[in-house]
Structure 1
Amino acid sequence: MEIFLAIVQACVVLGAIVLGVRMGGIGLGLWGVVGTGVLVFGFGLAPGDLPIDAFFIIIAVITASAAMQAAGGIDYLVGIASKIIRANPKRLTYVAPLVAFAFTALSGTSNIFFALIPVIYETAYRNGQRPERSLAASTVTSGLGITASPVSAAMAAYLVLVEPQGFPLPRILMITVPAAIVACIVTSFVQQRIGKELIDDPKFLKRVEAGEVEMPPVLAAKYRAKLAAEGGAGGGVGGSSSADAAGSATATDAGNDTSSGSGGSPASTVEATAPHEQPVPKGGRSSAWVFIAAIIVIVALGLFPSIRPQVPTGDDGETEAISMSIVIEILMFTAALVIMIMRKVKPAKVLDQSLMASGFIAAIALFGIAWMADTFIGGNQETIIDPLGDLITHAPLLLAVALFIVCGLTTSQSATTNMIVPIAIAAAVAPGVITAMWPSLIGVWLFPANGSQIAAVETDRTGTTKLSPVPIWHSFTIPMLVSWVAVVGVGLLIQLIP
């Protein structure tokens, strides 16, 4: 009977998640609370612990991020990222994923990646590269930045769970950061070999023939030669429309080139037709550095607990360092206030920022799902959790699979963290092993249900970045799987180091 009730309760939990995902937005968190209500009132389970610390860490971080955005700090960071990407066009498939990862880790949100998508696409297109390679790889590796960021919502949830196990923030980052960097490089290496070159891609050539997109100027001469070899400008594969498209691209190239009297080179074309840089608002730089300084202090206090304020633990006179949850909350709220005072940002403007809305959604989602998961786990410790824990203990890689699949289904790294990680902790799996497998949250890209994926597909006018009728097979599938295997494998090796 106990097993039957536990299975029914599990169905309630899964049903709440499915309904929440379908509703989207704060719906995931609200359905989580409703699921908790069903477990408490319908099955008599004791309510789980409220995820207060994780909730307020997210609110604190997102307040500082929104203040920075209102002051132009996000524009400043995006400007730096854009310059790095455009300065290395030949190594774009390697540079763009690393930049996407680094800036996501720095800001604590993958929302910053949205602004980089058109930059990556334009750089690839103007240099005659297949945009799918850099776009798909960068989209995926931006997700690795979430588990390598000291101020992401997922890290807030994870830190609250493992810090009491004696595994503080610096030890988490010492595993997730280098593992993610290696995964970025491995993913780029594989992705560089995905798909045909742009000039040989049938789908792109059809778009050129239809006049939907022009042949990049740097490929125009090669394209004309290809058409001539296949039957001339009046026939063959390309036909006259293809030749006209290539000629149009060449004419544009020549008309824009004012830096050379010899007809121009591909490099000069890219320089001449580069998009105009969006000016950074006054104060953007200083607000970004205030935010970055707060992150540096957070990491430093995590590395050296002895420099944190010491508080009494009881009546025996012993003291201990305040938790990193409190450190993050204090410093992030303080950073937000400093930015607002220094740059004279009005509170109402901070509340109007897109980051504030997305952060609030993440906080509500985490609150509802974490509360429901803790209620379910606490009420079914002996019936379900202990057997699952034994299974994970004997086959630890199942933890990585569970994190990957559940994150793909919920599309929420923080919610997945609060659902799966407590099971591993209850099974006494070593925190280092759990941390090594935690980046399996890269499974968030399993289904094309994320804004970054859709934006990348819609931005790529060449048609190389694509979805397919099979939901789990798309341009992001291979880089996602490569990143998953690489980040978990390297993480497991790192955690073995004493």
Structure 2
Amino acid sequence: MDIVLFIVELLVVLACIVMGTRSSGVALGLWGGLGVAILVFVFRLPPGSPPIDALLIVITVVVASSVMQVAGGIDWMVSVAAKIISAHPKQITLIAPLVAFLFSVGAGTSNILYPLLPVIQDLSYRNDIRPSRPLSLSVVATGVALACSPVSAAMAAMVTLTEVPPYNFELVDILKVTIPAAVVGIVISSFVIRRLGKDIADDPEIQAKIASGELAAPGASSDAKQAEVTVTAAGRNAAIIFFLGVFAIVAFGLFKGIRPLDAEGAAVSMTPIIEVVMFVVGTLILLISRPKMAEVPTTTVFRAGMVSAVALFGLAWLTDTFLSHYTKEISSSIGGLVTSAPWIFAIGVFLVCVLTTSQSTATRTIVPIGLAAGIPLGLLSGMWAGAFAGIYLLPTNGSQIAAANFDVTGSTKLGTKLIDHSFFVPTLVLAVSTIVVGAIFGLLWG
């Protein structure tokens, strides 16, 4: 291997990722495509394999989720989540993040959190709990949730990398590591976060607002705020159909015997099964809930999902073009380092999440390196899940901004120095705790 040429090509890859990150969104995909062009036409590398399977999963899931959103399914989920949180107000620093996590797992998106933010803020303040605590951890918990969802874009990217030979590590194998790791990580984090920041009685800023009449004293409100959503029977049916689809995907993953057979007589892989199930889910919602299909492309889920698909396409193609050409070299050189210090892999995923705010991009960029290095797949999956918290290390996400705006007490802050915001410590705590627990579960069950 020509080390100089390798370094120059690596710098091209990194430069395209950095430029895409600076523009974000669709620009990630465009810069990735430009990087492919440079590697192929300038350095004469053979084009890698574009992530077609992952893209097809993302598209089918996004379409089904968007149809559900138009039908009112996400609104119904939000109403159920709000009732669960309201039932245990004193434990809101634990319950709210767990509910946000579970519903994000089911929906495959963190967008479900937005309508819940005012509910979390109001309930925590009325129960004399600093709102920044449950708000910050709830936001960060939705990040690791996407490593536990059978229908997230990040999981689509992961499954298409690990279910193929020689790995044969399928969806259920990943979930049995990531779900318990994330849940334990959230529980551990809640005990730390509930001590983060001053109590309401000791916070001079909040007390000044109460004294001036700008803010009512904790407990002064008589009724909890409700999530501002419209709940309908059509929305309920749409959400139930979608959840049944998620359960069906998990069942096909658990029991290979119920899968159809391919031309060679082997059980069909999970990639086409996820795609087919999501098409069926979308069609059933269309027939039963009668959503206005013209509104599907305008939904937040559709727009965010398609942006993720474009970013995934360009960057994944770029990294595959580079990595597939140097697989043996990376395995022999970097492999020993990563195998002896697997936490380097976790840091890699974490940092790409920080820079791109995209878990699917981090998956397609770093996981192939971990696979080439020979990291045990269970261990890799556990660390991969915890590193997803990294998208909230910087206060640049919409859910972080929304949480700060909904917190009328001002306890949830975006900061001015990138590290002095309310999400910085929860991000690190949840990432470290989930990575450690995930590594243990991965070694035991992977």
- Common fold, TM-score beyond 0.5? yes
Note the alpha carbon deviations across 1:452-483, whole angstroms, 9 max, x for none: 11111122121111133321342112211221
| AA partner of residue 283 (structure 2) | L
Contact 2:125 2:218 in 1 (8 A): no
* Equivalence for 1:222: none
- For 1:41, the aligned partner's letter is F
Whole-angstrom CA distance in 2 between matches of 1:13 and 1:361: 20
Alignment of 1:13-412 (within 5 A): 13-164=13-164, 165-209=167-211, 213-218=214-219, 253=220, 269-271=221-223, 274-275=225-226, 278-313=229-264, 319-384=265-330, 386-412=332-358
State the 1:384 CA deviation: 4.7
Report SS of the residue matched to 2:443. coil
Q: Is the 8 A contact 1:6 1:384 kept in 2?
A: no
Instruction: Tell me how far apart the structure 2 counterparts of residues 166 and 383 of structure 1 sit (CA, whole Å).
Output: 23
Find the structure with the greater CA-based Rg: 1
Deviation at 1:381, TM superposition (A): 3.1
User: Secondary structure of 1:166's partner?
Assistant: coil
Normalization by structure 1: what TM-score?
A: 0.86
Amino acid at match of 1:284: G
Distance 1:66 1:431 in 2: 32
Deviation of the 1:339 alpha carbon: 0.5
The one-letter code sitting in structure 2 at the alignment partner of 1:458 is N
Aligned to 1:247: none
Describe the shift of the 1:34–1:494 C-alpha distance in structure 2 as closer, same or farther (beyond 3 A).
Answer: same
Structure 1 CA distance for aligned equivalents of residues 132 and 355 of structure 2: 24
User: Unaligned 5+ residue runs, structure 1?
Assistant: 219-252, 254-268, 314-318
Aligned partner (choices 346, 359, 382) of residue 413 of structure 1: 359
How far 1:47 sits from its partner (Å)? 0.6
Cα distance in 2, alignment partners of residues 453 and 276 from structure 1:
18
In the alignment, is the contact (CA less than 8 A) between 1:36 and 1:371 conserved in 2? yes
CA contact (8 A) 2:36 2:321 kept: yes
Aligned equivalents of 2:225, 2:116: Cα separation in 1: 15
| Amino acid aligned to 2:396 | A
Q: State the shift of 1:382 in Å.
A: 4.6
Q: Give the letter for the 1:283 counterpart.
A: A
Q: In angstroms, what is the RMSD of aligned CA positions?
A: 1.7
Q: Which amino acid aligns with 1:286?
A: N
User: Take 2:228 and 2:390, find their aligned partners in 1: how far apart are those partners?
Assistant: 34
Q: Secondary structure at the match of 2:7?
A: helix
CA distance in 2, matches of 1:18, 1:298: 36
Q: Is the 8 A contact 1:136 1:476 kept in 2?
A: yes
Partner of 2:393: 446
Matched to 1:115, the amino acid is: P
Match of 2:418 in 1: 471
1:449–1:386 distance in 2 versus 1, CA, 3 Å: farther
TM-score (norm 2): 0.95
Bigger mean CA deviation after superposition, 349-358 or 69-78: 349-358
Shift of 1:390: 2.0
Q: Is the 8 A contact 2:65 2:301 kept in 1?
A: yes
Partner of residue 492 from structure 1, selected from 421, 439, 444: 439
Cα distance in 2 for residues equivalent to 1:158 and 1:278: 33
- What is the distance in 1 between the residues matched to 2:415 and 2:375? 38
SS in 2 for 1:332: helix
- Could you say which residue in structure 1 is the equivalent of 2:381? 435
Please tell me the residue identity of whatever aligns with 2:201.
I
Q: Tell me which amino acid in the other structure corresponds to 1:34.
A: L
Cα distance in 2 for partners of 1:85, 1:12 equals 48
**Structure 1 residue 421: Cα displacement:** 0.6
Structure 1 range deviating more: 102-111 or 347-356: 347-356
Q: What residue identity is the alignment partner of 1:270?
A: S
Residue-by-residue CA offset, 1:96-115 (whole Å, 9 max, x unaligned): 01001001101001111112
Letter in 2 for 1:306: G
Structure 1 CA distance, aligned partners of 2:225 and 2:66?
Answer: 30
Deviation at 1:444, TM superposition (A): 1.2
| Cα deviations by residue, 1:311-340 (Å, 9 ceiling, x for unpaired) | 123xxxxx2111101000000011111111
CA 111–469 in structure 1, closer or farther in 2 if over 3 Å, else same = same
Query: Do 2:158 and 2:364's aligned partners in 1 also have CA atoms closer than 8 Å?
Result: yes
Q: Tell whether the 8 Å contact from 2:260 to 2:267 is kept in structure 1 after alignment.
A: yes
SS of alignment partner, residue 309 of structure 1: coil
Displacement of 1:281 in angstroms is 3.0
How many residue pairs match? The answer is: 442
- Unaligned stretches of 5+ in structure 2? none
Amino acid in the other structure paired with 1:400: A
